[in-house]
Amino acid sequence: MAKLPLHRFASAREFGEILKKALRNEPIEYFDSSRIQPRIERVKKAQSDGDFQFARDVLNELEAEGHIDPQIPLLRIQLDQAIQQKTVRQLLENANWAPNHKQTEPWRFTVFTGDGLGTFARFQAEKYREEAGASFAKDKYEKMLANPLLCSHIISIGMKRHADKHIPEMEEIAAVACAVQNMYLTATAYGVGCYWTTGGVTFSESAKAFFGLGEEDKLLGFLYAGVIAIPSPQGQRTPIDEKVNWVRH
């Protein structure tokens, strides 16, 4: 009667009786939400305790069994958001351990998520409109409004210039790049899609204050992160020997 054992009826007679009950608008035990309520409560408790793996396992079972309960899709959304938030937090924590000269820790991040994605999109689109002048392109403006909403998180990447100007600016920028690489590696480990872009308002001096940066600081772009919709093609590189010189004498 169905492909999966969980969805099979013991006999055609049993299946017919269920259909008759449905036609008479009578309650059907299989769809009685009270039967699954204990498991739903376990999902809620596990999520509250931060045990996302257990919550996901139980929720996967409920969905696979085909139960119809409005709490299930809501719990799925909440769980996915909680997992994403935990993952992004780990990206940032690992970024914080990047190497840097004299422990200046020059990286500065602003994280946009939820309604904040719209805030970011509107800011960059309007900033582009203000500064583009004769080169303004409507399709570019519309992409600036739409593309950020396809992500779960957008992280602005900033370099905070240290008061000690004896530290070369290049070293501070390199340290931030190391922090971003740490985020890239973490995202790969967790199966999160991301890319570092220097588009949008990256090179707008008047945009820096929006991201908590001062005049001497640098806005180095944005890390877009989210669920991978289309897997990236296999990476390609030319041989490393073409880029290395060995000096042995």
pLDDT band for position 1 (cuts 50, 70, 90): very low
Whether 79 shows a pLDDT value over 60: the answer reads yes
- Position 167 scores a pLDDT of 94
Amino acid at 14: E
Identify the CA nearest to 216 among candidates 177, 171, 160, 158. Answer: 160
Per-residue pLDDT tens digits for 24-43: 877 666 666 777 888 888 88
CB–CB of 205/150 below 8 Å? no
Phi, psi of 57 (to 5 degrees): -60, -45
Mark 80-119 as b/e (b = at least 16 C-beta within 10 Å): eeebbeebbebbbebbeebebeeebbbbbbbbbbeeebee
Among 26-40, 66-80, 132-146, 222-236, the minimum mean pLDDT is found in 26-40
Of residues 197 and 35, the one with the higher pLDDT is: 197
How much is the average pLDDT of 43-49? 82
Domain-wise residue ranges, the chain: 5-85, 100-226
CA distance 59 to 35: 14
CATH architecture type of domain 100-226 = 3-Layer(aba) Sandwich (3.40)
Q: Is 157 helix (H, G, I), strand (E, B) or coil?
A: strand
Percent of the chain residues past pLDDT 70, beyond the cut: 93
- Position 71 scores a pLDDT of 85
CB–CB of 127/204 below 8 Å? yes
Work out the mean pLDDT of the chain and round it to a whole number. Answer: 89
CB–CB of 128/199 below 8 Å? no
Percent of the chain residues past pLDDT 90, beyond the cut: 57
Per-residue pLDDT tens digits for 219-233: 999 999 987 878 888
Which run of H or E residues covers position 135?
none
Among 83-87, 91-95, 109-113, 149-153, the minimum mean pLDDT is found in 83-87
Residue with tokens 């180095």: 220
Burial class of residue 36, CB neighbours in 10 A (0-12, 13-18, 19+): buried
Enter the tokens of residue 247. Answer: 């000096």
Instruction: Provide the β-strand partners of residue 158.
Output: 108, 219
- Position 32 scores a pLDDT of 66
CA distance 9 to 18: 10
